[in-house]
Chains A and B, each alone.
Chain A
Amino acid sequence: MSSDLIFTFGGIGLCGLGLFGFIYHRHLLRRLIAFNLFGNGTFLILVGFAQQGQGNSDPVPQALVLTGIVVAVAATALALVLIRRWFQLKQATELPEDSQS
Chain B
Amino acid sequence: MSLMQSPMPWLLVIPLAGATLTMLLPDRWRSAASALGILSQLVAALLLSYQVIQSGPQIYAMGNWQAPLGIALRADGLAMLFILMSALVSSLCALYAQSYLKAEKRANFWPLFWFLWASLNGIWLAADTFNLYVGLELLTLAAVGLVAFAADERSLEASIRYLYAALLGSMGYLLGVALLYGAHGTLALDSLAEHWHWGPTSQVAVTLIVGGLLLKTAVFPLHTWLPPAHGGALTPVSALLSALVIKASFYMLLRFWIELDIYRHLPSLSQLLGILGAGAIFWGGWMALRQQHLKWVVAYSTVAQIGYMLLMFPLLTAGQSDASQLAYQGGILMLLAHALAKAGMFLAAGNLMICTGKPDLQALAGMSRYRPLTIFAFGLAGVSLMGLPPSGGFSAKWLLLQSSLLSGQWWWVVVLVLGSLLSAAYIFRVFAYTYRETGEEGDRFARPALSMELTALTLSVASILLGFAAMLPLQLISLPGPLMEALP
Give A contacts to B, CB under 8 Å.
15, 22, 28, 31, 35, 38-39, 41-42, 45-46, 49-50, 52, 59-61, 63-64, 67-68, 71, 74-75, 78-79, 82-83, 85-86, 89-90, 95-96, 98, 100-101
Contact = CB atoms under 8 A, between A and B. Distances in A.
Interface residues of B, number: 36
Contacts of A61: 178, 181
Interface in B142-166: 144-145, 148, 153, 156-157, 159-161, 163-164
B181 A83 contact: no
7 contacts: A35-B164, A41-B175, A61-B181, A68-B174, A71-B133, A74-B137, A75-B141
Interface centre among A49, A60, A71, A79 (most CB of B within 10 A): A71
Instruction: Label chain B's interface by main secondary structure.
Output: helix
A-B complex: 4 closest residue pairs judged by Cβ atoms: A49-B182, A46-B178, A50-B182, A71-B137
A59 B156 contact: no
B178 A49 contact: yes
B171 A101 contact: no
Contacts of A50: 178, 181-182, 185
A63 B187 CA distance: 12
Contacts of B187: 60, 64
A68 B167 CA distance: 12
A19 B144 CA distance: 21
Contacts of A74: 137, 141
Given A46-B181, A49-B179, A60-B187, A39 B144 contact: no
B439 interface: no
Given A78-B163, A89-B156, 13 more contacts: A22-B168, A39-B171, A45-B178, A45-B182, A60-B68, A61-B178, A61-B181, A63-B69, A64-B130, A64-B178, A82-B156, A82-B160, A100-B227
Contact of A90 (B144, B153, B179, B181): B153
Contact of B168 (A35, A52, A100): A35
B140 to A, nearest CB: 7
B292 interface: yes
Given A31-B164, A60-B68, A82-B148, A15 B156 contact: no
